[in-house]
Amino acid sequence: MDEYQIILLPKRDYYSWVAATREYVLQFHSNLTSDLEVAGRYMYPNQVVTIVDAPQGYGRNVRAWFNQNYPEIRLDIIDVMTPGDLENVLSNRVNNNDRFGNSDKDFRLLWPTDYPKLNQAFGANHHFYRRWGLPGHEGLDIRAPMRSGVYACAAGSVYRVHDGSGGHPYGIHVRIRHQDGYRTIYAHLHRSFVTVGQQVEAGEQIGLANSTGNSTGSHLHLTLKKEGATASGLTSYPSDIIDPTPFLEFPKDETQLPGKSIVVEWKHNCCLVGVHGRADGPLLEPDFPIIKDAKIEAVKLLSNAPADNVKRLIDINNDMFILVRLFAGFRDIVVSSSDFVSWVEADVSELYNQGVRYFEVHNEPNLQIEGWQHSWQDGHQFADWFLEVVERLKSRFPEALFGYPGLSPGHEIPGQRMDSWVFLQQSESAALASDWIGCHCYWINESDMIQPTGGLVFEEFRRRFPEKLLFITEFSNPFSEIPFSAKGHQYVDYYRRLRHITGIGAAFSFVLSASSNFSHEVWRDEDGRRSDIVQLVGSRNF
C-alpha cells in the first residue's frame, strides 16, 4: 500500500512555490497542483494531500474544505509564509529522508486497529457536530468490525475505563495518559481488557471494537488531547482536543498493523492466473485447448457445469484450481433463500463430489437484474438472504467454502444499480461471515487499470477485510475501441501485478467464451477464432 502524494500549492506566484519543491519532488516523486478538486478527486488508496497553507493561499479555509468534501483523505499540513520558508521545510525533510515530517514529532501514535481504513477524518461534518458546540468531528473514526482488536497507540497509563452506563456518547471506552501531557480515548468498544492504573505498551491490545454509545456501526473512535491546548490557542476545540492525524503512523502494508498474526490461508502462495469460463453455460469443446495454451491455473465455472468439465480441467492441469459461481435467474422475480438453495443444491452436490470446494454465492447482487429491488431492497436484506443460503448449504456440504459475491463496481445508477460501496457497507455482516470474498474490477484503458475506481478496486476490499481471502472473480477491459492485442498486454501486466500480493487467491479474466453480449471481452468467438489475448497470456514469463 504505497502512499500516493499530491502537493497543493497556492495559485498566486505558483511557479515560485513550484521551484521551492524541486529537491523534494525529485526525492519523493510527488505530484503538484494548485487545484483543490484535482488534489482530492482521485481518491487513491493511502492517499496523502500535502497542503502548503500560506496566508490567502486559497481564498478559504482549505483544511475545513477538505474535511467537508474529502473526509477520508489524509492531510499533511505545512504552515509557511513564503516559498523560501517552504523550501527550508522540505529541505529538512529531504535531509532526514522524512517524507511527511514525522521526525519532528517527539510523540507518535501507532495504528490502533487491524484495518488500514479511515472512515471519518478529524474536523469533518461540521454541520452535524455543531449541535454539540464542536467545530467538526472531534477525532478519527477508524475501521474496526465488531469484536475486532483495538490497540494502544502509545505507551502510557490507563486512567479511566468507562462501562458505557449513563448514556455516555462514547459508550464503553478507555482513556490512556501518555508523555508530555498527551491523552488518547478509544471509544465505542465491545469490552475493555485493561484496568485503571495499568501500564500499557504501544501496540498492546486494550479491548474489542463495537458500536456502543452514540454510534451507528462498529468502528473505533480515537480522540487525542494535549493538556493546555485549548487555553493556549493551540486548538479551536474544547477540552484540549487536537487533531490526531499528524501524529498517526498510517500503515504502509499488513506488516505494520498491530495484529501481525493475521494470516490469510492460501495453499498456492501466489495469485493464480485465471479465466472465467463460458459466460452462460458449461464449457464447450473449443474452450479446453485455449485453457491449455494460455497456461491457465484457475477456472471459474457456473454451477450448471457438468462433472465432466471438472475432469477435463484436471486433465489439463492436475493442480487446476476451480471456483464455481452458484447460478440462477433473478430477473424481475422474487427469489427466496430457500428457492435459491433448491435450484442449485443438486448442481453443488455433483461438483462437490468432484472435489470442488469454493462456491461464490450469486453474482453482482447490487444490480436490479440480479435481485436488487425484487429479492432484496438493500444490502441489509441481501445479508440476511446470503446468511440463510450459506446456513442451508453448509449443513449438507460441510467442507464447502462459500464466498461473498463480486459486486458491480461503481456509483448508483437509478433503477439499475445500487452504489457498490453503500451496498457492501450495508451487507458487511455477510462479508464478515463468508469464507472468502469476491471482487469485480473493470477498466477502459491502461491508466484506468491502476486507478482505485478501476483495476485497483480490490485494494479497498483488502483494507476493509485484511483477514479474508480475496478472489478477483471478474476483471476485464470491455471497451470496444481497444484492440484485443492491447487488452492482452494489459491482462498480462495485471496478472503480474497481482502475482505476489498477499491475500489474493486468483484473478479470473472475463470471459473465455459466450453465446452473446460479450463480443469485446471473449477470448474466443463462436466461430472458434482466438483473440490475441490467448497467445499473450500463454507466452507470459511467470
Q: On the CB side of 160, how many CA atoms lie within 13 Å of its CA? A: 14
Is there a single domain that holds both residue 326 and residue 465? yes
- The answer to whether 142 touches 179, Cβ cutoff 8 Å, is no
| Separation between Cα atoms, residue 56 and residue 78, nearest integer Å | 14
* Number of structural domains the chain divides into: 3
**Whether 83 and 138 share a structural domain:** no
The number of angstroms, rounded, from the C-alpha of 238 to the middle of its chain's C-alpha atoms is: 34
Residues 251, 291: one domain?
Answer: no
* Claim to verify: residue 373 and residue 503 sit in the same structural domain: yes
289 within domain boundaries: yes
Is 469 among the domain residues?
Answer: yes
Task: Report the CATH number at residue 311.
Answer: 3.20.20.80
Is residue 298 a contact partner of residue 272, using CB atoms and an 8 Å limit? Answer: yes
62-92: string of b/e by CB count within 10 Å (b at 16+)?
A: bbeebbbebbebbbbbbebeebeebbebbee
* Residue after which a domain boundary falls, among 193, 221, 256: 256
Same structural domain, 278 and 252: no
261 in a structural domain: no
7/142 Cα distance (integer angstroms): 24
| Nearest-10 crossing angle of helices 337-353, 307-316 | 40
Is 493 found in the same domain as 408? yes
Does residue 183 share a domain with residue 252?
Answer: yes
Q: Do residue 490 and residue 524 come from a single domain? A: yes
**Residue from 485, 434, 505 nearest 274 by CA:** 505
Give the domain range for residue 378. 272-538
Single residue among 65, 82, 104 that ends a domain in this structure: 104
Considering the domain architecture, whether residues 373 and 251 belong to the same structural domain is answered as no
Q: Do 489 and 412 sit in the same domain of this protein?
A: yes
pLDDT of amino acid 161: 97
CATH of the domain at 64: 3.40.50
User: Is 464 inside any structural domain?
Assistant: yes
Do the domain assignments include residue 267? no
Longest dimension (CA), the chain: 78
In-domain check, residue 191: yes
Task: Look at residue 1 in the predicted model and tell me its pLDDT.
Answer: 45
Which amino acid is residue 527, in one-letter code? D
Residues 202 and 317 in one domain: no
Q: Is 176 inside any structural domain?
A: yes
- Any domain includes 151: yes
Question: Do residues 220 and 141 make contact, with C-beta atoms less than 8 angstroms apart?
Answer: yes
pLDDT along the chain (542 residues), means of 10: 80 93 92 90 72 90 81 82 93 87 77 90 84 89 92 96 94 96 97 96 95 92 95 91 90 75 84 97 96 98 97 97 96 95 97 98 97 97 98 97 98 96 94 96 95 93 91 97 97 97 96 95 95 98 96
At residue 388, φ and ψ (nearest 5 deg) are -65, -40
For residues 325 and 459, membership in a common domain is answered with yes
17 touches 83 (CB < 8 A): yes
| CA 228 to each of CA 174, 251, 353: distance values in angstroms, whole numbers, following the listed order | 21, 30, 68
User: What CATH number corresponds to the domain at position 141?
Assistant: 2.70.70.10
- Rounded Cα distance between 424 and 386, Å, is 13
Parallel/antiparallel/unpaired status of strands 219-226 and 182-192: antiparallel
Total-model pTM: 0.76
